[in-house]
Structure 1
Amino acid sequence: MHAIEREVRILRMYCLLTVPVLVLLVFAGFVQKPRFGEIAVQRINVVEPDGKTRLVISNKTRAPDAVLGGKTFKRQGGNSAGLIFYNQEGDEDGGLVFSGAARNGRYEAGGALLFDQYHQDQVVGIQYSDDNGSRSAGFQVWDRSDIPAAETLEREQAIARMPDGPEKIAARERLRASGAWNAPVRVFVGRDRSKAAVVDLTDPQGKTRARLLVDSLGAARLEFLDAGGHVVYAVPESTRSR
């Protein structure tokens, strides 16, 4: 009898010691953050504690549609692999895209890191574009309309649903005249397709008015142009239009 009581006491002590240890191990499994040496995924969504998306990393096929003004739209120009940034309201705010492939003996490649105007499209970015060796790369600044992009896209969708005819043509002309999609490049600093290193400054219509460049032969010059694209002052003077 005493032997049985002694075994029961030992069993109780064992339980008192082991159960807390097991509980700690279980909770430690939940608290410990998983670590991966390598993972393969098609898309990662980075979200805030409230579930709002702030960043998406994806391949081309899993790239999300554009989100503007809280509404979803098909992405113009198709999807690309890369990153998409979102602001605190959940609207698209810019991104990083890249591509490159050869076909029928020719290749096309490109990449861009872009940041969007609030409720609009990109206004500043770094871009690279290469069409089988004809390439440009540089920093750009765009002007954008104050009209929200979501509003313009909804107008485009409404016009697309209209029956063909004069009213549809007139609606398209009114949309074009509104300047909603106007996006002149105001600043370009980079290397253009003529192999020149360029600083190009334009007017609100996107026409170059001042240019500093070093051409493909190493010759440097500074030019000021009128609205018609004619050089009105240049250094050295020999580059001035006559």
Structure 2
Amino acid sequence: MEKFKKIEVEQLNIVDKDGTVRLKLFNNQNIPPAIIDGEDILPGHRQSDPIAGMMFYNAEGDEAGGLIFGSQKDNDGNYTSGGSLTFDQYKQDQVVQMEHYEENGKKNYGFSIYDRPNSNLREDIERDKDIRESNKSEEEKSQELNELWEGNVRRAFMGKNVDGDVIVQLSDSKGQPRIRMVVDQYDIPRMEFLDGDGKVLYKLPPEE
């Protein structure tokens, strides 16, 4: 077996014996497309992002998650920086994500879990395009798109927001927050129970 002390590449593909790609390491000039069923399901997606990282693929060659990270800074010193580690549902989008995003000192970071429907994301995107390009009324399009993407919601988040609050938030099947635990930027804790419209039903400590 040949050994190397150091190698320098712009992209590295790890493949099975049959050539199926299982892992890609890439720089900013070689960001891979989002592949499901052998097709680029989102042409141009991520291609202009200031990122590098690695993408994971399942035994069928579908994207199954990845690790991306990057930053950019303009001539005035304004900057953004971030990173994301995701794991995808079979032929769908991510169901687990750990992420960090910062813009000029304002930070948002944490851990999220998502619900995804038992459908093929490639087919969902094609259906979305058909609806948008149809001759139906805007109201009909809106209703059909809402039905198509129903079930794609974040169910839980644990992290810190741009206001400096540390949060644990649990949401219902429609993505509406129902339980929220917070220690705010002033170190004041609270816990809230909400209804499906976002109204606080009960709060600890209770309001005086």
How would you bin the TM-score normalised by the shorter chain?
0.7 to 0.9
Partner of 2:86: 114
**Alpha-carbon distance in 2 for matches of 1:41, 1:175:** 46
Partner of 2:108: 136
Q: Within the alignment, does 1:54 sit opposite 2:22 as a pair?
A: yes
**Alpha-carbon distance in 2 for matches of 1:207, 1:149:** 23
Percentage of matched positions with identical amino acids:
34
Change (3 A) 1:178 1:82: same
Matching residue's letter, 1:95 = G
- Which structure has the greater CA radius of gyration? 1
What are the equivalent positions in structure 2 for 1:90-239 lying under 5 Å apart?
Answer: 90-103=61-74, 104-158=76-130, 162=133, 166-167=135-136, 172-173=141-142, 175-180=144-149, 183-238=152-207
Whether the 8 Å contact between 2:131 and 2:144 is mirrored in structure 1 is no
Looking at both structures, which has the greater relative contact order when contacts are Cα pairs under 8 Å and sequence separation is at least 6?
2
Change (3 A) 1:90 1:150: same
Deviation for aligned residue 1:71: 2.2
**Alpha-carbon distance in 2 for matches of 1:61, 1:152:** 29
More helix by share: 1
Whether the 8 Å contact between 1:66 and 1:92 is mirrored in structure 2 is yes
**Alpha-carbon distance in 1 for matches of 2:60, 2:4:** 31
Q: Which residues of structure 1 form unaligned runs of 5+? A: 1-32
Q: Which residues of structure 2 form unaligned runs of 5+? A: none
Whether the 8 Å contact between 1:213 and 1:220 is mirrored in structure 2 is yes
Deviation for aligned residue 1:153: 2.3
**Alpha-carbon distance in 2 for matches of 1:61, 1:42:** 8
Q: TM-score, normalised by structure 1?
A: 0.76
Instruction: Please tell me the root mean square deviation across aligned C-alpha atoms, in Å.
Output: 2.3
Q: TM-score, normalised by structure 2?
A: 0.87
- Partner of residue 53 from structure 2, selected from 79, 82, 86: 82
Deviation for aligned residue 1:170: 7.2
